[in-house]
Each structure stands twice: as structure tokens, then as C-alpha cells.
Amino acid sequence: MSMIKKIPNGVIYRIKDETVCVEGYGENCIRVRSTRNGSLSDERYTLLEAENLPAQVNISDKSASVTSGILRAEIADRMWDGYCLTFYRNDKVILRTVDEGHYTSRFSHVEGDNYRTRIVFEANAGEHIYGLGQEQQDFFDKKGCTYELKHRNTKSSVPVIYSSLGYGFMWNSPAIGSVEFGNNHTVWSAESVYQADYLVFSGNTPADTMNRYCRLTGFAPEMPAWAAGFWQCKLRYESQDEVLDVARRYKAEGIPVSAIVIDYFHWTEQGNWEFDPDYWPDPKTMCDELRKMGLEPVVSIWPTINPNSRNWRPMSEGNMLVRTENGQYGIFDFYGQQTYVDVTSPQAREYLWQQVKKGYYDYGIKTFWLDEAEPEIRPESYSNLKFHIGNGAQTALAYPYYYAKAFYENLRAEGEEDILLLTRCAYPGSQKFGTAVWNGDIPSTFDALRQSVVSGLSMAMSGIPWWNSDIGGFFFGDTSSEYFRELIVRWFQFGLFCPVMRLHGVRNRESDYKYRHPGIKEPSGGDNELWSFGVRNFPILKAIVEQRGRLRPYILESARNTSRTGEPIMRPMYFDFPDDEICFTLSDQYMFGRDILFAPICKQGATDRNVYLPCGEWVRTSSGEIFAGGERYTVHADIGEYIAFVRKGAEVLKAFPGAV
């Protein structure tokens, strides 16, 4: 066999032009690193340190193996075309590498010590693959699909998957790349990396496997109590008076609202993190009144900055901004050329926080909406970006992780414990910073609603448990149309059974719309409060928000389970019923916590849909009718009804007036 060396928790294997390390990385987890360079890098990126659990290592004349719990990796010398690495779970093959032409298929030189890298595995017939972050598309099962590994608005590339064969896989690289889950092979690739780096992990159930993943990347903290309620949001409230007027009306209507969000361009300039005093003259008084009404004030942050900002010179001269390898600073054109704060730099994170502290926190703002978290760049020339941690082609996917880290760690340093950050993008480990990710600026359509269900479940199986969407969609919502008025009700029903329930969007302005502040930069869209969607809808939507209030104890208990075990709040059916093959095929119904099954209606005009109930007995929340599990049912729900079931005997059934 080629050169092989035993190391404390694994083996290092050398063949011509390649070094491979296979090692145990905690219980039921094996990490693989491979490089053409002379030595391996110890860079973990966002991965936590390995748990100190010894792996079993065996070396023979023809092979070597590393065993960690129920996982075993065997490396075999094939001489004529390199090596084969095979992974076993409980002695059954789950992954096997394919070497398509020796090392030349794995590494192609880019520059310096960096290579375009691809790792190829055999395809497993009948395997289902889930996760990989979120993207507005219809495929919950990723088998047969190809995806870019890059972020953009509506797309978070979280390179983590769960397989129906009972294992998880994490591609441990923030480099731009792609993945193919073909019927002929599976290929993970990166455009420019020092080494390939991935982990295979497992457990006896999907819940065990998710717990293993969170032990690799971090658990979400406990959710703040207020965050489990209903959030009011729109693009955008233009002034302090407008925010307070909306909050006071909600209070007068008796509608339980937990948060109100102040969206972008409330500032004086991009890169000045502060309220514009012309429209927000007394932020502290505003925050004090909102809290007396029981509302948490939330403020949008953009990490964009340009030379008109007073923070430009110190941040630019201090190398605290995302720079370009070639050319000028402009990488995002929005009211002029912008660049971004380089949140991968510790110095930049501290400087940014000091501005945010003076501009918001000292007035009582403790919750932040971290927008533009990808970051969004135009054109998508990642190799032209220079971050503190490296070139953009090699590191850009980590930006949202460090963006959340900047706020979470500084809020903790200020003594805050109940932290939630609304973010538009994520990366492995983002969950430990209290991120509640949403799926970006999507259209106001039934297609987008259906795809949002897929996005939420995919993020759940990527280790991101706090998730939400803009209720009603973001773009092109015509509040006077029957189409939108039906859509908003069905989306509210979906939002009721999401970890965070938040109304948002830029609604079309009606013909008689009166501008509140003519000439203001970025004027508001049309109205977007519960009373804005028609007389028939108002009592329906109010009842849904009231139901959310009754579910808050259950949601918070589910969130506590998340922080303890890693289990997502919103999760696919197979998570709780892994022995039921049908549950692996269901992408349009899901479990909300351990006891609620929700089946959203995502088709215009529909009042009936098929629902599969797994084993046990299930109680419909609207009627109290008991259904036997293991069967499919056609269930009816008029526009003012939704389709949800609770396990018979579960405590949460008492939260539904129609079921008791």
C-alpha cells in the first residue's frame, strides 16, 4: 500500500501528488481532508473543535479503516487509479468515492496553493437527499438536481445535507462551488481551495443525526419569549409618527402584536448607522412607548457603505471594508456604488458595533434585522473580492456567519441574553448566533408560497431551526385584488405554523395613494397591516394572530427543545416518523414541533387537499374529529380554515378552541 501513517485519531495516506487525512471527529463523525499541497491545513472555518472521543484505527497491507461509533471509513489502494474511500453505517455502504482518472479529476491548479477541486461519489439508487439551505424552487428531495454553492437574494447555500440512508454530510468550505446529486454520481466541487474538506456524520434517527450536526457547529440559543408572537412589518415605515400610529391602532383593535420592524433607509446615508432626525426625532421615546404596548422594536441594518458616509474614511483606511483585487470599490449599485463592511475582520466587527450602539442600542434597540447578508454583489465576480479571511472565491459563503457573529457577540458583551437576529442568509454555525433566517425578496404568488414550504423544510434539515418568510410575499402584492386577498389568508395560515410569524412586503400603491413625505428617498409601498386586505379578511387574519398567541407556550417549549437537542421546530414528516417510507416523499405537509401536523393549502382556489397521517390517532384542530393514522385523507378547508392535526392526548390540543 502507498505511504500511510497512523495519527492519534485517524490515518494520513499519501499517494503521488495527494495527501489524504481520514480521522474521527467526535461520536459518529468522520472528517476527510485532501490536498495536492505538501501539508494539510488545520483551518476549521465555522466548525467547532472535535469532541475528545477516540476513534478506532486499523491498518493492514491493503487497506486502513477509521471507526467512530456506527460509522466506519475504509481507504483502499487501487494502484491503477488512486484510492477508494468507502463509508459504512452499521456495516452498510452509504458513500463510496469514484476516482475518475487519478488525482487529475480532483485537483486543477488555479493559482498559488489553490486548486479547483471536485470530490466524486457513487450514486445510491433510491436515496433521498434533503437540505442544502434554501432556494426558491420546488425540489425538496435534491436527488437528481444540481446547485450552485453561492449566496444571492432568496438563496442561502448551506452545504449540509441529510440522506434517507441515515447519514449527514457537510462540505466544510466557504468557497464558491457547486454540487450535483445525479443518478450517475454525486459531485461536490469548489472553484478555489487549498484542500477538500468534508464530514460524514450519523445517528440512529434523523433527530440523532441533527443533534450530531449541532455538536459540530453549535446549537441555537433559547428563543426570546416575545419572538414567538406575531411581527408587523412593511416596506417601509417612513417616520416615527407612522410607526407609533400603527402600533397604537393594533393596541386599540386588541390584536396581539409582539414586534414592529423599521425597515431600511431610515438612516441619513448608507454606512451611517443611525436614525434620520428629520423623520425620527426621538427614538428613545418611541422605543419606550412601543415596549409599554408590548412591542419589541426591530431595526434594519445594511452593511453597505460608500464615500458619502462619515465612516468611509476610517473604515477604508483601516482595511475594514470588502475590497477588490482589481479595480475600484463599487461592487453593488444601489443609490450609487457601494461596498460592504468586511465583517470577517474582528476590527471591522468592533467598529461597526460601536456605530450601531450609538445609533440604535443606546436608544433601546436590541433586535436587528441584518439585511443584505449574502452579501449581494453585481456582477457575481467573487474572485475579485478581498476579505480579511481571504479571497472571495475561497471564502465568500462565510459572510453571513460573521455578520451575525458581529451582532450576537457584542450584544452578549452588553449583557443581553434574549437575542434574535433576523437575517437574509446563513452558513453552517449561523444558528448559534440566534439567527432567524428568511427566504428573501420573493413574489406575491401561490407558486412562491408553495416553494416557501420547501425552503423552510430544507433550511430545517440544514441545521437552521429559526426560519420565516414574508407573509404574502415581498413583490407585486395588489391588496385590492381577489387573488392577493386569497393568497394573504393562505400565507397567514402557513405563517401561523412557522418558527417566526412575520408580515412583510412592498405592496402596490392604490390609485388614490397619498405620499406621506413627498420627495423622501425610498417612499413606502402600499399599506400592509391586518386591516389592509379587505373587510372579509380582517376577522380571519385577526383570529389567526390570536391563535398564534395561544400557541406561544408550545412554540417556546419547542424552541427550548431546539436549543437542547438541535431538533428544528418546523420539520419534515420523516424527522418524527423515520420508519414510514411514505414520510420521505412528503414535501407539502410537515410537523410543527412534536405534536402538530400542518398541511398548507398553496393552490389558488383550492379548498381540498390530500393529507397523509402517520401512525397513531390524530385530532383535527378545527373540529375535534379523530382520524386514524397510516391513511391518506382528502380534507376540506374553506378560506377561513386551515388543515392541522394534533396527536391525540397532546397538551397543545387545548390551545385550539375548535378541538375541545
HEC string for 542-610: HHHHHHHHHHHHHHHHHHHHHHHHCCCCEEEHHHHCCCCHHHHHCCCCEEECCCEEECCCCCCCCCEEE
Say how far apart CA 199 and CA 24 lie, in whole Å.
9
User: For the segment 489-528, what is each residue's pLDDT rounded down to a tens digit?
Assistant: 999 999 999 999 999 999 999 888 999 999 999 999 999 9
The residue whose grid cell reads 400610529 is 245
Asked if residue 533 lies in contact with residue 485, where contact means CB atoms within 8 angstroms, the answer is yes
Say how far apart CA 361 and CA 287 lie, in whole Å.
10
Give which of 595, 500, 594, 503 is closest to 552, Cα–Cα.
Answer: 500
Say how far apart CA 458 and CA 470 lie, in whole Å.
17
Residue count (the chain)? 660
* For residue 62, pLDDT beyond 80: no
Position 101 confidence tier, pLDDT thresholds 50, 70, 90: low
DSSP 401-431: HHHHHHHHHHHHHTT--S--EEES---TTGG
* For residue 621, pLDDT beyond 50: yes
**Residue 456: C-alpha distances to residues 54, 135, 250, 316, 464 (Å):** 36, 10, 28, 37, 9
What type of residue is 200?
A: V
Mean pLDDT of all residues belonging to the chain: 96
Give which of 468, 479, 471 is closest to 525, Cα–Cα.
Answer: 479
Residue ranges, comma separated, of all CATH 3.20.20.80 domains in the chain are 225-305+340-565
User: For the segment 567-614, what is each residue's pLDDT rounded down to a tens digit?
Assistant: 999 999 999 999 999 999 999 999 999 999 999 999 999 999 999 999
Burial 305-336 (b: 16+ CB within 10 A, else e): bbeebebbeebbeeebbbbeeeeebebbeeee
Asked if residue 422 lies in contact with residue 438, where contact means CB atoms within 8 angstroms, the answer is yes
Say how far apart CA 208 and CA 205 lie, in whole Å.
5
Cell of 540: 380571519
DSSP 594-657: TTEEE----STT--EEEEEE-SSEEEETTT--EEESSEEEEEE--TT---EEEETT-GGGGG-G
- DSSP code for 387: E
The residue whose grid cell reads 379523530 is 626
Q: According to the model, what pLDDT value does residue 511 have?
A: 87
Find the DSSP H helices in 175-308.
206-217, 240-253, 283-292
Residue ranges, comma separated, of all CATH 2.60.40.1180 domains in the chain are 572-659
* For residue 79, pLDDT beyond 70: no
CB count in 10 Å sphere of residue 416: 16
For 245, the 3-state DSSP assignment is helix
Q: Residue 126: what are its φ and ψ, rounded to 5°?
A: 80, 0
What type of residue is 367?
A: T
Q: What share of the chain is helix, strand, coil (3-state, %, to 5)?
A: 25, 30, 45
Q: Is it true that domain 225-305+340-565 has CATH number 3.30.1490.20?
A: no
HEC string for 105-167: HCEEEEECCEEEEEEEEECCCCCCEEECCECCCCCCCCCCCEEEECCECCEECCCEEEECCCE
Q: According to the model, what pLDDT value does residue 271 have?
A: 98
Cell of 62: 491493503
Proportion of the chain above pLDDT 90, given as a percent? 95
Asked if residue 626 lies in contact with residue 648, where contact means CB atoms within 8 angstroms, the answer is yes
User: For the segment 238-273, what is each residue's pLDDT rounded down to a tens digit?
Assistant: 999 999 999 999 999 999 999 999 999 999 999 999
* For residue 105, pLDDT beyond 70: no
User: For the segment 193-247, what is each residue's pLDDT rounded down to a tens digit?
Assistant: 999 999 999 999 999 999 999 999 999 999 999 999 999 999 999 999 999 999 9
Average of per-residue pLDDT across 629-638: 98
Asked if residue 516 lies in contact with residue 525, where contact means CB atoms within 8 angstroms, the answer is no
HEC string for 588-606: CCEEECCCEEECCCCCCCC
Q: Is the peptide bond before 578 cis (omega within 30 degrees of 0)?
A: no
Q: According to the model, what pLDDT value does residue 103 have?
A: 45
**Residue 132: C-alpha distances to residues 123, 322, 371, 443, 451 (Å):** 17, 26, 21, 22, 15
Average of per-residue pLDDT across 329-334: 96
When mean pLDDT is compared over 54-63, 96-105, 381-390, the highest value belongs to: 381-390
Residue ranges, comma separated, of all CATH 2.60.40.1760 domains in the chain are 4-217
DSSP 316-376: HHTT-B-EESSS-S--EESSSEEEEB-TTSHHHHHHHHHHHHHHTGGGT--EEEE-S-S--
* For residue 104, pLDDT beyond 70: no
Say how far apart CA 46 and CA 402 lie, in whole Å.
9
Q: Residue 619: what are its φ and ψ, rounded to 5°?
A: -110, 125
CA angle at residue 373 from 509 to 552, to 5 degrees? 75
* For residue 81, pLDDT beyond 90: no
Least trusted range by pLDDT, from 15-19, 31-35, 96-100: 96-100
Cell of 217: 457547529
Which residues have C-beta within 8 Å of that of residue 166, sequence separation ≥ 6?
89, 94, 202, 203, 204, 206, 209
Average of per-residue pLDDT across 23-32: 98
**Residue 113: C-alpha distances to residues 149, 195, 384 (Å):** 21, 9, 17
Cell of 623: 373540529
**Residue 654: C-alpha distances to residues 124, 368, 553, 658 (Å):** 45, 34, 12, 9
Task: Determine the CATH number of domain 572-659.
Answer: 2.60.40.1180
Give which of 228, 243, 367, 370 is closest to 298, Cα–Cα.
Answer: 367
- Hey, which residues are catalytic here? 371, 374, 441
User: What sign does the CA torsion over 515, 520, 526, 529 have?
Assistant: negative
Give the H or E element holding residue 456: helix 446-460
Torsion angle of the four alpha carbons 220, 584, 125, 450, in this order, in degrees rounded to the nearest 10: -80
Q: According to the model, what pLDDT value does residue 411 have?
A: 98
Task: Determine the CATH number of domain 4-217.
Answer: 2.60.40.1760
User: For the segment 150-176, what is each residue's pLDDT rounded down to a tens digit?
Assistant: 999 999 999 999 999 999 999 999 999
Rg (CA), the chain: 25
Average of per-residue pLDDT across 319-345: 97
Q: According to the model, what pLDDT value does residue 100 have?
A: 66
Asked if residue 438 lies in contact with residue 467, where contact means CB atoms within 8 angstroms, the answer is yes
Q: Name the residue with higher pLDDT: 218 or 101.
A: 218
For 493, the 3-state DSSP assignment is helix
Position 83 confidence tier, pLDDT thresholds 50, 70, 90: confident
Asked if residue 196 lies in contact with residue 35, where contact means CB atoms within 8 angstroms, the answer is yes
Cell of 44: 476549521
Model confidence pTM above 0.85? yes
